[in-house]
């Protein structure tokens, strides 16, 4: 058996793919966060780091700041407060980094690959790129013939195709509290301790709302496996349409879990210096810092998977494009399986990046909550709302599933309509974006005397604008 | 006393006195250039013109003038009163004089001002007089017009050296002739005169002569504008940076009252100006006195020192205590100084009585030039004062004789100067086992002293001086003490403490209370209970060196 | 019976704080959040487009425009206004001597007392002797200077100007901020010359029309 048939090999590849995405996007997010903040606030944002290259300054739009920051973290003194608990102080950043990366294990990055259906031979002996059936799973297939024949198992694009799926996510995500709490208590610093207390109570509070907000979705999808959830959404309607309240609740709870603005009380600079990681520096600080951004990515992945259709695109299914409302098929075109896999993976990552961007915009738009407001929001708004959501979802779902076939067909058509809405909205957005991009900006320069003198002899010639 | 009215106010006067002088005594000034209280009145600047109302029943003296009437395009005849110079016009009983209240006077002042400034170069930026120039002051008060003359002003000689001390600028001169009259009337050396007429009028020195003698600085002082400047002060400082202390000249026993002008920013004295005092120097000072301001900086003792090295006052005092340890009081003498203030000498007297010493001597600088105007033969500012401080005080020669005979081995001295040849005196003083000198200036006494303590000069501390006439005068503090110098009475108190004695004075007030009862008058008159000015005691004729 | 502590009347000087009205939409918070996000995105898209397309408003002429008007300082500089008060310079005459006559008006006017001048007299035989003096030393402590321009206003000879367009330079030691006469004379104006447009009447000028004592005869 060649190495690529070994399941362990594919697991390794998937881990690498996931980590590569997670680490790179999180790293980029540190840049995006600052650059985007600058642009939102009518500034340029970080753009000064450069590499001298052939007498020019290579700046790459400020991307080098990320590299510079990383280098800086590695060369900084690894400071440990003299009276800190050395062991706990050292493992705290690892503990807070671990769950973020571990959550990614159950997130499906694309549809299950049927290796046997990727390449085929036509009757004439030519190589063909076949498509697979829309429904049903591909089993273990035998490829080749004779001595070369071997069996291929389908490759799920999740690191660990766990049947407990979402439960695993909750279990792991809960460990984040431990990291923050240990970091704060082991630092021997009042601010750190207060930050840790805030972090722990905030995360515990929002954990509840986060878990309960997804119960409705689980009821609807009828599964807790994340890839199954995506398939349900692909066939029916995106979670954001069937569970809009849960989507909002989950999003809010997820932001609070990340301890990002507007819920950044555990590390509120104006109050607590840096909160629970005040005493950290160098690579340990980088782990906290990086974990925060990685958390943005994983939470975006979860949101995409549960509420935004995961790898699926409207009207695109395993067998290709099927434009249909209910039973009325308007247009159908089969697409080879390999393309569907590639499109699915790109779609998933694309949606994730879009949500990361949205989270950054949120961070730069909203002011921080007061602590009591935070607690009120968690316990008195999010929790009752998620409970109500479960109740309403249950009742409605019961009503729908016990209704007649024609009624169910109406809902099926409605579901397809939401797919159409998404497709139209996306198309409109893209067109709007392109048109907007190519419409020149209108500026009204002030004609003041000194400005006119700028280019006069002795005036200060302005240089080309650096971006 | 008869009175007349000036601007509606009664002004008393003495018969035969001019209006300007009577008004000036009331503290009001009638603007003037050529008049000076100490000089005759030529009435040539026309600035002091006043309107005098005609006496009852008399016709007013008027002038016929033509005024341009722009509306009619023609001249119009008008009568206006004939104004009189207040410096020439003697006051009379019941006279009604109008100055600032008369439109005619105001107009006249403005016109005179314009006339005097007609050819003026207006080089105030480089003129030393600017800031205290009468042309500037009166232009602000009475001028305030725009220059109407568009022609090039007349150019006359500039920076003419009149002699070793004075530079003349004819363009700035307003021909008030004060300098000419001063040399003639006060210095009795009519070396300056006027030549040419009209625009080309200028002051010149008599042919074959230079402006020299002992009173040349006064020509600059009386000059109301920047025409005469002294080479000493020329371009050194701007007068608006200078602050003034009411000082007393230390040049000789006359004790001329002076303004000491100094710059507080660099703690430096720049010049002397005479301070009016009818009893002492009237309005004048001599050249030597005017230049003696630099004794605030020249020849000063600024740091405490022993024979070998400059040291801190504290360690030097310890050395002094060692030198005087167990010395019998019969061998200790104190030497007063005729160049230090009464306060310093009184402090030394107190120290002598604490030590139990009865050998009291005094030192003074040798005599010098003398004239009948201001300059006294005695070149010490406080000779009379020393004699007031202690009776039975002996001369420096006697002190040297005692030293030679070995009766006196230890001495505490004030001031550096001695009456004999400084080098010879210094060698003689070497015979002393211990000499502690507290002094502001260097001299034989500091040269041969084992211990020298720096004292402030008259410019840096308030002090009282008695001049040759027996008038007691207070000199104000000007600049801050230089180096580590302190007032001599303070240093003496420190010395007393170092010697294990308890000084009875620590403040200026306490030492002032110990001053002897004044025998002459006090200036400025401080206490009303001053003792009557009797004839000065017979003694103080300075002993021959 | 009068009260032991009479009640203070409220001060009418105070301006009451105005709160924005509490409506349902603000109370619910979500619509306001959406508005805020929209505002952020609007700025983001517009500025991003300007950045990518290189259409940023000119930082100097577009200061009031929407968009990014940042000046990248060391590379770009805001154009100084025409009357910007920069580094001092001492103006020169045609013969390259300073116009300054050491009148000390500038150091008198200087509120920071940063100008030190030592005046000197021209040598015997110099045609300017008597008419003028000159600065032997002219020192400005640029570290103490507050660039108020009073010295320029005070100067009767137009000898000191601040039209160099050079702004205060950082150095690494205090002594480097002490600008002497030679340095001040060497600094040109913005237009690159060392003189001023204001003519000066020199006693030695051929057009100097004065009548002197000898000519009158």
Count of B-C CB contacts under 8 Å: 60
Cα R_g (chain C), whole angstroms: 30
B296, two tokens: 């605030």
> Among residues of chain A, what percentage have pLDDT more than 70?
90
With 70 as the cut, is the pLDDT of residue A149 above it?
no
What pTM was estimated for this model as a whole? 0.68
To probe the interface with C, which of B195, B200, B235, B263 has the most C CB atoms within 10 Å? Answer: B235
Domain map of chain A by residue range?
A: 80-437
Find the chain C residues whose C-beta atoms sit closer than 8 A to any C-beta of B.
101-105, 108, 113, 119-121, 129-133, 156-157, 203, 208-213, 216
Give the neighbours of chain C: at least 3 Cβ pairs within 8 Å: A, B
- Whether the CA torsion A59, A60, A62, A65 is positive or negative: it is negative
**CATH 3.40.50.740 domain locations along chain B:** 305-523
Which of C106, C130, C214 to probe by mutation at the B interface, max B CB count within 10 Å? C130
Contact (CB<8Å) C213/B240:
no
> Which regions of chain B carry the CATH code 3.10.20.740?
3-116
Mean pLDDT of B445-470: 92
Contact (Cβ atoms closer than 8 angstroms) between residue A180 and residue A266: yes
A41 touches chain C (CB under 8 A): yes
Domain that holds residue C28: 22-79
Residues 6+ apart with CB under 8 A from A103: A169, A172, A173, A298, A302
Which 8-state DSSP code applies to residue C69?
Answer: -
Residue B545 has pLDDT above 50, yes or no: no
User: Residue B152: closest CA among chain C residues belongs to which residue?
Assistant: C210
Q: What is the pLDDT of residue B543?
A: 41
- The answer as to whether C199 is a domain residue is no
**Strands ordered across the beta sheet of B463-466:** B463-466, B472-475, B522-523
pLDDT of B527 higher than 60:
no
Rounded Cα distance between A459 and A238, Å, is 60
- Cβ partners under 8 Å of residue B515, min gap 6: B342, B343, B346, B464
Closest partner residue to B200 among C104, C203, C216, by Cβ?
C216
Is residue B171 helix, strand or coil?
Answer: helix
Q: What is the average pLDDT value for chain B, to the nearest integer?
A: 89
Q: Are A262 and A239 in contact (CB under 8 A)?
A: no
Entry field: residues in chain C: 217
Q: Are C127 and C148 within one domain?
A: yes
Nearest CA in chain B to C156: B125
Secondary structure, 3-state, B64-118 = EEEEEECCCCEEEEEEEECCEECCCCECCCCCEEECCCCHHHHHHHHHHHHHHCC
How many distinct structural domains can be found in chain C? 2
What's the rounded Cα separation, in Å, for the pair C99 and C130?
15
* pLDDT for the residue A442: 78
Query: CA-CA distance, A231 to A236, in Å (whole number)?
Result: 9
pLDDT in tens, C118-160: 998 888 877 777 778 899 999 999 899 999 999 999 998 889 9
CATH of the domain at C97: 3.30.70.3270
Q: What pairs with residue C151 in β-bridges?
A: none
State the residue for tokens 């005594």.
B25
* Chain C residues within an 8 Å CB radius of B158: 129-131
C61 and C116 housed in the same domain: no
Residues of chain A in contact with residue C63, where contact means CB-CB under 8 angstroms, are: 446
Interface contact flag, B124 C104, Cβ < 8 Å: no
Evaluate if residue B493 carries a pLDDT over 50. Answer: yes
DSSP code per residue over B369-437: ---SSS--S---S-HHHHHHH-SS-B-HHHHHHHHHHTS--EEEEE-S--SS-HHHHHHHHTT-SEEEE
Q: Mean pLDDT across the stretch A53-82? A: 85
* Of the listed ranges B278-292, B358-372, B516-530, C106-120, the one predicted with least confidence: B516-530
Tens digits of residue pLDDT in B327-367: 888 899 999 999 999 999 999 999 999 998 889 999 999 99
Closest Cβ opposite residue C191 in set A39, A457, A462 = A457
**Using a CB-CB distance cutoff of 8 angstroms, which residues of chain B are in contact with residue C215?**
none
What mean pLDDT do residues A248-259 have?
89
Structure tokens of A374? Answer: 């935070």
Give B3-116's CATH code, choosing from 3.90.120.10, 3.10.20.740, 1.10.1740.10, 3.60.10.10. Answer: 3.10.20.740
User: Chain C neighbours among A 305-364 (CB < 8 Å)?
Assistant: 361-362, 364
Indicate the pLDDT class of residue C9, thresholds 50, 70 and 90.
low
Residues of A with Cβ-Cβ distance to C70 under 8 angstroms: 43-44
CA A388/CA A63 separation, integer angstroms: 45
How far is it, in rounded angstroms, from Cα A34 to Cα A41?
11
Closest CA to A263 of A379, A185, A362, A384: A362
Do C100 and C182 reside in the same domain of the chain? yes
**C64 and C100, same structural domain?**
no
Q: Residue C93's pLDDT is what?
A: 86
Verify whether the Cβ–Cβ distance C40 to A458 is below 8 Å.
Answer: no
Question: Which of A44, A50, A465 best tests the C interface by mutation, with the highest count of C CBs <10 A?
Answer: A465
Q: Does A465 touch chain C (CB under 8 A)?
A: yes
The shortest C-alpha distance from C82 to chain A (Å) reads 6
Strand partners for C129: C132
Tell me how close the Cα of A460 comes to any Cα of chain C, in angstroms. Answer: 5
User: Percentage of residues in chain B with pLDDT exceeding 90?
Assistant: 66
pLDDT of B375 reads 93
| A340-353 tens-digit pLDDT | 888 888 999 999 99
**Cis-peptide, bond into residue B524, ω within 30° of zero:** yes
Stretch A276-301: mean pLDDT = 88
Q: What is the mean pLDDT of residues A444-465?
A: 51
CA separation for the pair A283, C187 (Å, rounded): 51
Q: Which residues of C touch B169 (CB under 8 A)?
A: 130
Neighbouring chains of B at 3+ CB pairs within 8 Å?
C
What is the Cα–Cα distance from B496 to A393, expressed in whole angstroms? 105
**In the predicted model, what is the mean pLDDT of residues A57-84?**
86
Q: Which residues of C59-74 are buried (b: 16+ CB within 10 A; e: fewer)?
A: bbbbeebbbbbbebee
Taking the C-alpha atoms of residue A49 and residue B198, their distance in angstroms, rounded to an integer, is: 80
**Record: contact C129-B235, CB cut-off 8 A:** no
Confidence of residue A449 (pLDDT cuts 50, 70, 90): low
Residue C116: per-residue pLDDT: 92
Task: Answer whether A touches B (≥3 Cβ pairs < 8 Å).
Answer: no
Contact B158 C216 (CB under 8 A): no
Tell me the average pLDDT across B80-94: 92
Q: What's the gap in Å between the CA of C18 and the closest CA on chain B?
A: 55
Sheet holding B228-230, edge to edge: B160-161, B166-168, B228-230
SS in 3 state form for B229-295? EECCCCCCCCHHHCEEEEEECCCCCCCCEEEEEEECCCCEEEEEEECCECCCCECCCCHHHHHHHHH
A-contacting chains (≥3 CB pairs under 8 Å): C
CB contacts < 8 A, A to C, total 122
- CA–CA dist A159, A156 (Å, integer): 8
Q: What would the pLDDT profile of A25-56 be if each residue is shown by its tens digit?
A: 888 888 888 888 889 988 888 888 888 888 88
Q: How many CA atoms lie within 13 A of B273 on its CB side?
A: 17
Strand B74-81 relative to strand B257-263: parallel, antiparallel, unpaired? unpaired
> Looking at residue C3, what is its pLDDT?
67
Of residues C172 and B523, which shows the higher confidence score? C172
Do C94 and C74 lie in one domain? The reply is no
Closest-CA residue in chain C for A262?
A: C33
- Clarify whether residues C26 and C100 are in a common domain: no
Q: Which chain C residues have a beta carbon less than 8 Å from that of B238?
A: 103-104, 108
**Do you find a cis peptide bond into B198, omega within 30 degrees of 0?**
no
C213–B196 CB contact, under 8 Å? yes
Q: Inspect the interface and report whether the beta carbons of A361 and C37 lie closer than 8 Å.
A: yes
Consecutive H or E run containing A334 = strand A328-334
pLDDT for res B20: 94
Predicted confidence band at B102 (pLDDT cuts at 50, 70, 90)?
very high
Domain assignment of residue C162, yes or no: yes
Residue A466 at interface with chain C, using a CB cutoff of 8 Å? yes
pLDDT in tens, C196-209: 887 776 655 555 54
| Chain B residues in contact with chain C using a Cβ-Cβ cutoff of 8 Å | 121, 123-126, 152-160, 169, 196, 200, 202, 234-236, 238, 240-241, 265
Q: What local confidence, expressed as pLDDT, does residue B333 receive?
A: 92
Instruction: Name the closest residue on chain B to residue C207, using Cα atoms.
Output: B152
**C201 located within any domain:** no
Alpha-carbon C173 to chain mean position:
23
Residues 6+ apart with CB under 8 A from C135: C98, C100, C101, C102, C117, C118, C119, C120, C181
Among B301, B377, B381, B299, which residue's Cα sits nearest to residue B340?
B381
Query: Has residue C5 been placed in a domain?
Result: no
Determine the Cα–Cα distance for residues A346 and A326; give it in Å rounded to an integer. 27
CATH C-level class of B305-523: alpha beta
Looking at residue B537, what is its pLDDT? 41
**pLDDT at residue C217 above 60?**
no
- CB within 8 Å: C108 and B158: no
pLDDT band at A144; cut points 50, 70, 90:
low
Q: pLDDT per residue over B212-230, tens digit each?
A: 999 999 999 999 999 999 9
Q: Which residues of B touch C212 (CB under 8 A)?
A: 154-156
Task: Tell me whether residues A460 and C41 touch, CB distance under 8 A.
Answer: no
Cβ–Cβ gap B241/C105 under 8 Å: no
d(C-alpha B153, C-alpha B118), whole Å: 7
* pLDDT of the residue at A86: 87
Q: Which residues in chain C touch residue B153, judged by CB atoms under 8 angstroms apart?
A: 210
Mark A311-336 as b/e (b = at least 16 C-beta within 10 Å).
Answer: bbbbbbbbbbbbbbeeeeeeeeeebb
Does A460 contact C192 at a Cβ distance shorter than 8 Å?
no
Is A451–C60 a contact, with Cβ atoms under 8 angstroms apart? yes
Q: Looking at beta carbons, which residues of chain A come within 8 Å of C165?
A: 458, 460
| Lowest mean pLDDT, pick from A119-133, A333-347, A374-388, C200-214 | C200-214
Would C1 be classed as within a structural domain?
A: no
- A457 interfaces chain C, CB cutoff of 8 Å: yes
What does the buried/exposed string (b/e) look like for C145-164 if buried means 16 or more CB atoms within 10 Å of the residue's CB? bebebbbbebbebbbbbbbb
For B364-391, write each residue's pLDDT tens digit. Answer: 999 999 998 999 999 999 999 999 888 8
| Contacts B234 to C, Cβ<8 Å | 121
- Nearest CB among C113, C119, C203 relative to B235 is that of C119
Are B166 and B211 in contact by the 8 Å Cβ rule? The answer is yes
Q: Do the Cβ atoms of A210 and A253 come closer than 8 Å?
A: yes
Residue of chain A whose Cα is closest to the Cα of C81: A450
- Distance of alpha carbon A340 from alpha carbon A426, whole angstroms: 19
Q: Write down the residue that tokens 């493992």 correspond to.
A: A91
């Amino acid at each position: 058996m060649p190495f690529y048939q070994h399941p362990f090999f594919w697991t390794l590849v998937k881990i690498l793919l996931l980590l590569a995405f997670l680490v790179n996007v999180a790293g980029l997010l540190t840049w995006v966060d600052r650059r985007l903040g600058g642009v939102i606030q009518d500034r340029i944002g970080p753009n000064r780091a450069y590499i001298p290259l052939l007498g020019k300054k290579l700046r790459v739009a400020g991307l080098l700041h990320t590299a510079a920051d990383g280098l800086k973290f590695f060369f900084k003194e690894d400071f440990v407060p003299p009276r800190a608990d050395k062991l706990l102080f050292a493992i705290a950043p690892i503990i807070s980094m671990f769950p973020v990366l571990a959550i990614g294990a159950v997130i499906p990055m694309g549809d299950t690959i049927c290796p046997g259906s990727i390449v085929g031979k036509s009757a004439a002996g030519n190589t063909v790129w076949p498509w697979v059936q829309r429904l049903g799973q591909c089993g273990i297939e035998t490829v080749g013939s004779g001595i070369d024949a071997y069996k291929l198992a389908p490759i799920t694009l999740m690191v660990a195709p766990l049947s407990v799926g979402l439960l695993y996510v909750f279990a792991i995500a809960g460990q984040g509290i431990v990291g923050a709490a240990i970091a704060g208590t082991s630092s021997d610093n009042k601010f750190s301790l207060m930050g840790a207390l805030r972090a722990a109570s905030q995360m515990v509070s929002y954990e509840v709302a986060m878990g309960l907000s997804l119960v409705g979705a689980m009821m609807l999808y009828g599964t807790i496996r994340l890839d199954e959830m995506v398939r349900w959404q692909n066939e029916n309607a995106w979670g954001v349409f069937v569970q809009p309240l849960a989507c909002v609740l989950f999003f809010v709870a997820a932001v609070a879990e990340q301890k990002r603005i507007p819920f950044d009380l555990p590390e509120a600079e104006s109050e607590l210096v840096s909160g629970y990681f005040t005493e950290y520096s160098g690579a340990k600080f980088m782990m906290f810092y990086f974990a925060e951004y990685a958390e943005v990515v994983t939470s975006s992945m979860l949101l995409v998977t549960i509420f935004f259709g995961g790898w699926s695109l409207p009207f695109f299914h395993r067998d290709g494009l099927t434009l249909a409302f209910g039973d009325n098929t308007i247009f159908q075109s089969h697409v080879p399986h390999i393309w569907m896999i590639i499109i699915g993976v790109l779609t998933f990552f694309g949606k994730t990046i879009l949500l990361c961007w949205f989270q950054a915009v949120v961070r730069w738009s909203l002011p921080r909550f007061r602590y009591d407001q935070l607690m009120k929001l968690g316990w008195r708004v999010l929790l009752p709302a998620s409970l109500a959501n479960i109740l309403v979802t249950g009742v409605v779902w019961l009503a729908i599933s016990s209704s007649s076939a024609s009624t169910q067909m109406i809902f099926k058509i409605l579901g397809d309509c939401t797919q159409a809405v998404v497709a139209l909205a996306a198309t409109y957005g893209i067109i709007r974006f392109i048109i907007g991009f190519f419409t020149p900006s209108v500026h009204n320069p002030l004609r003041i005397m000194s400005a006119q003198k700028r280019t006069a002899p002795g005036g200060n010639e302005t240089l080309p604008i650096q971006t | 006393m008869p009175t007349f009215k000036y601007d509606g106010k009664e002004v008393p006067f003495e018969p035969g006195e001019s209006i300007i002088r009577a008004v000036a005594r009331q503290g009001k000034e009638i603007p003037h250039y050529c008049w000076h209280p100490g000089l005759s009145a030529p009435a040539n600047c026309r600035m002091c013109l006043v309107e005098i109302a005609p006496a009852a029943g008399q016709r007013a003296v008027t002038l016929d003038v033509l005024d341009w009437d722009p509306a009619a395009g023609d001249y119009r005849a008008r009568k206006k009163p004939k104004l009189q110079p207040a410096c020439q016009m003697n006051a009379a009983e019941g006279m009604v004089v109008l100055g600032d209240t008369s439109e005619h006077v105001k107009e006249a002042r403005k016109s005179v001002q314009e006339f005097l400034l007609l050819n003026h170069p207006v080089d105030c930026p480089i003129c030393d007089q600017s800031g205290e120039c009468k042309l500037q002051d009166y232009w602000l008060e009475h001028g305030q017009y725009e220059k109407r003359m568009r022609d090039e002003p007349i150019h006359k000689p500039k920076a003419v050296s009149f002699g070793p001390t004075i530079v003349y600028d004819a363009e700035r001169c307003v021909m008030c002739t004060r300098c000419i009259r001063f040399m003639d009337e006060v210095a009795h050396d009519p070396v300056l005169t006027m030549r040419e007429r009209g625009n080309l009028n200028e002051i010149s020195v008599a042919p074959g002569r230079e402006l020299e003698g002992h009173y040349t600085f006064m020509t600059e002082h009386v000059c109301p504008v920047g025409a005469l400047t002294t080479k000493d002060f020329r371009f050194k400082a701007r007068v608006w940076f200078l602050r003034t202390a009411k000082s007393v000249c230390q040049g000789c026993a006359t004790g001329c009252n002076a303004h000491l002008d100094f710059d507080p920013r660099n703690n430096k004295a720049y010049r002397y100006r005479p301070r009016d005092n009818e009893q002492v120097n009237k309005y004048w000072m001599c050249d030597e006195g005017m230049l003696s301001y630099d004794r605030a900086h020249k020849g000063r003792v600024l740091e405490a020192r022993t024979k070998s090295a400059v040291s801190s006052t504290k360690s030097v005092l310890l050395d002094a205590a060692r030198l005087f340890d167990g010395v019998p009081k019969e061998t200790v003498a104190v030497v007063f100084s005729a160049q230090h203030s009464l306060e310093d000498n009184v402090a030394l007297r107190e120290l002598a009585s604490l030590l139990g010493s009865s050998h009291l001597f005094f030192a003074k600088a040798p005599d010098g030039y003398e004239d009948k105007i201001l300059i006294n033969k005695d070149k010490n500012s406080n000779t009379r004062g020393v004699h007031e401080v202690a009776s039975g005080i002996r001369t420096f020669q006697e002190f040297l004789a005692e030293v030679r005979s070995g009766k006196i081995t230890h001495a505490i001295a004030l001031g550096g100067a001695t009456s004999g040849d400084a080098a010879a005196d210094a060698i003689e003083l070497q015979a002393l086992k211990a000499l502690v000198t507290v002094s502001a200036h260097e001299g034989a006494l500091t040269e041969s002293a084992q211990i020298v303590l720096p004292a402030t000069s008259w410019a840096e501390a308030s002090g009282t001086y008695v001049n040759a006439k027996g008038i007691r005068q207070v000199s104000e503090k000007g600049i801050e003490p230089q180096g580590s110098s302190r007032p001599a009475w303070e240093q003496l108190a420190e010395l007393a403490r170092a010697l294990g004695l308890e000084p009875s004075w620590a403040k200026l007030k306490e030492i002032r209370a110990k001053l002897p009862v004044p025998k002459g008058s006090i200036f400025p008159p401080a206490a009303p209970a001053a003792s009557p000015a009797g004839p000065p005691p017979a003694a103080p004729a300075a002993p021959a060196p | 019976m009068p009260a032991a502590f009479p009640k203070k009347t409220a001060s009418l000087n105070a301006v009451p704080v105005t709160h924005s009205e509490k409506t349902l939409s603000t109370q619910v918070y979500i619509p306001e959040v959406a508005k805020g996000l929209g505002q952020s995105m609007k700025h983001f898209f517009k500025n991003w487009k300007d950045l990518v397309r290189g259409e940023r408003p000119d930082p100097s002429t577009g200061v009031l425009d929407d968009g990014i008007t940042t000046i990248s300082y060391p590379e770009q500089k805001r154009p100084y206004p025409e009357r910007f008060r920069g580094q001092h310079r001492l103006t020169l005459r045609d013969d390259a001597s300073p116009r300054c006559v050491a009148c000390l008006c500038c150091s008198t006017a200087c509120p920071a007392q940063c100008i030190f001048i030592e005046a000197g007299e021209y040598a015997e035989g110099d045609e300017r002797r008597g008419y003028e003096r000159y600065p032997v030393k002219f020192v400005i402590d640029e570290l103490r200077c507050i660039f108020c321009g009073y010295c320029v206003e005070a100067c009767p000879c137009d000898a000191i100007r601040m039209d160099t367009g050079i702004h205060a330079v950082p150095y690494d030691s205090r002594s480097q901020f002490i600008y002497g006469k030679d340095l001040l004379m060497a600094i040109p104006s913005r237009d690159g010359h060392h003189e001023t447009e204001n003519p000066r009447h020199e006693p030695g000028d051929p057009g100097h029309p004065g009548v002197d004592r000898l000519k009158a005869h």
